[in-house]
């Protein structure tokens, strides 16, 4: 699939999902401006290495700025003149939002607001932004459909992401900006985030250390392989919200705005995910079973029907393929 919009501004380009998204866009011939502040939330060398790979591709440029720095952001935006914006920069992590709540308000609320203000004054063809499956919060009706209520977040992380969807909707209504908010479901794969389960477990198992297994392992996640996710993001660029709703659509009745799940709809038990990792590493994990953590949700399962309607494809890579792919990358990256 080709991307007709040639100039794409991607925030969070040094991040896990930003890196994979930029990589795919550049391979398809787009011109990409990456924006990233290289936050020290996790190992900055990983972000530098991802960026070095992007810099080898033609069409990529980088602005090392924070989305909280409105003046710097505005200059970068005006100089680049994007047709499309893909906003992935965020303070991520569900459980860390208990420890460091203020960083979530700054990056997620203020940062997103700055970008929306720029889209208001310098219109783009499509503004796409990352939200999360965590917005479904206390909902228990599975699969999670985009038309469900999302008023019961269980963490500040989820609350800030839900708030950006609401703020986005108001701007889409007021200024006519076409907007799509992606709800990601536990994304994993090569170049992954060191604060997430797969990376933490791999490091611990290889070091002969115990892994912490929350809620005694009684957790379910609709894990999404990152290559599938990047493919869905790129396809959704073309699905500019208009006036006509498709079946099961979350399209706003008053604005060119929708939220869409990016998930496979094939949930996996946490213990099975750990089992895939043990097989890939050929090592049994020492397991430290722990209680439920504050802010966590016990289960997620995406309805992928809307994504299928909009793009013709849904994530298909199962953990039995994706987990070994992560392990191969991890061993190549850290053992060479």
Ligand X SMILES: O=C(O)[C@H]1O[C@H](OP(=O)(O)OP(=O)(O)OC[C@H]2O[C@@H](n3ccc(=O)[nH]c3=O)[C@H](O)[C@@H]2O)[C@H](O)[C@@H](O)[C@H]1O
The residues of the shown chain that bind ligand X, judged by CB under 6 A, are: 92-94, 132-134, 184-186, 196-198, 200, 212-214, 219, 221, 270, 296
Q: Which is nearer to ligand X, 62 or 198 (CB)?
A: 198
Cβ 146 vs Cβ 183: under 8 Å? yes
Cβ 81 vs Cβ 229: under 8 Å? no
Q: How far is the CB of 87 from ligand X (least distance, A)?
A: 14
Burial zone of 228 (CB within 10 Å; 0-12 exposed, 13-18 middle, 19+ buried): buried
Q: How far is the CB of 157 from ligand X (least distance, A)?
A: 7
**Distance from C-alpha of 102 to C-alpha of 92, rounded to nearest angstrom:** 12
Q: Which is nearer to ligand X, 26 or 302 (CB)?
A: 302
Cβ 127 vs Cβ 182: under 8 Å? no
Q: Which is nearer to ligand X, 112 or 132 (CB)?
A: 132
Q: How far is the CB of 216 from ligand X (least distance, A)?
A: 9
The question of whether 157 is a catalytic residue gets the answer yes
Q: Which is nearer to ligand X, 59 or 137 (CB)?
A: 137
Catalytic residue among 104, 157, 171, 330: 157
Q: How far is the CB of 1 from ligand X (least distance, A)?
A: 25
Q: Which is nearer to ligand X, 127 or 144 (CB)?
A: 144
Sort strands 7-11 and 31-35 into parallel, antiparallel or unpaired.
parallel
Q: How far is the CB of 78 from ligand X (least distance, A)?
A: 31
**Distance from C-alpha of 54 to C-alpha of 13, rounded to nearest angstrom:** 9
Cβ 260 vs Cβ 181: under 8 Å? yes
Quick one: which H or E segment has residue 268?
strand 268-269
DSSP result, 32-95: EEEE----TTS-HHHHHHHHHHHHTSTTEEEE---TT-HHHHHHHHHHH--SEEEE------ST
Cβ 51 vs Cβ 34: under 8 Å? yes
Q: Which is nearer to ligand X, 82 or 137 (CB)?
A: 137
**Distance from C-alpha of 156 to C-alpha of 318, rounded to nearest angstrom:** 30
Q: CA 209, 211, 215: angle at the middle one, nearest 5? A: 160
Q: How far is the CB of 136 from ligand X (least distance, A)?
A: 8
**Distance from C-alpha of 100 to C-alpha of 49, rounded to nearest angstrom:** 26
- Annotated catalytic sites, by residue? 157
């Amino acid at each position: 699939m080709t991307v007709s919009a040639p100039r794409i501004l991607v925030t969070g380009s040094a991040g896990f999902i930003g890196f994979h998204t930029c990589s795919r866009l550049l391979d398809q011939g787009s011109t990409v401006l990456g924006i990233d502040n290289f936050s020290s939330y996790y190992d900055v060398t990983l972000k530098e290495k991802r960026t070095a790979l992007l810099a080898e591709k033609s069409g990529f440029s980088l602005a090392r700025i924070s989305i909280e720095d409105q003046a710097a952001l505005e200059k970068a935006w005006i100089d680049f003149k994007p047709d499309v914006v893909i906003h992935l920069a965020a303070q991520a992590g569900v459980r860390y939002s208990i420890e460091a709540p203020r960083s979530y308000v700054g990056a997620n609320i203020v940062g997103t607001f700055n970008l929306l203000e720029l889209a208001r004054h310098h219109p783009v063809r499509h503004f796409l932004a990352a939200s999360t499956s965590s917005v479904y919060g206390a909902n228990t009706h599975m699969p999670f459909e985009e038309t469900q209520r999302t008023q019961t977040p269980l963490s500040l992380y989820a609350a800030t992401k839900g708030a950006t969807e609401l703020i986005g909707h108001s701007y889409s209504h007021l200024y006519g900006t076409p907007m799509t908010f992606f709800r990601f479901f536990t994304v994993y794969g090569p170049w992954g985030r060191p604060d997430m389960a797969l990376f933490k477990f791999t490091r611990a198992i290889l070091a002969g250390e115990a892994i912490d297994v929350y809620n005694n392992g009684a957790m379910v996640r609709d894990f999404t392989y990152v290559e599938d996710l990047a493919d869905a993001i790129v396809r959704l660029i073309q699905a500019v919200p208009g006036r006509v709703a498709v079946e099961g659509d979350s399209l706003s009745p008053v604005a060119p705005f929708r939220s869409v799940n990016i998930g496979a709809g094939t949930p996996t038990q946490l213990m099975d995910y750990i089992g895939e990792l043990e097989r890939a590493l050929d090592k049994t994990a020492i397991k430290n079973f722990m209680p439920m953590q504050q802010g966590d949700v016990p289960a997620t399962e995406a309805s992928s029907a809307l994504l299928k309607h909009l793009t013709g494809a849904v994530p298909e890579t199962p953990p039995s393929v994706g987990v070994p792919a992560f392990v191969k990358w991890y061993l190549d990256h850290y053992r060479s």
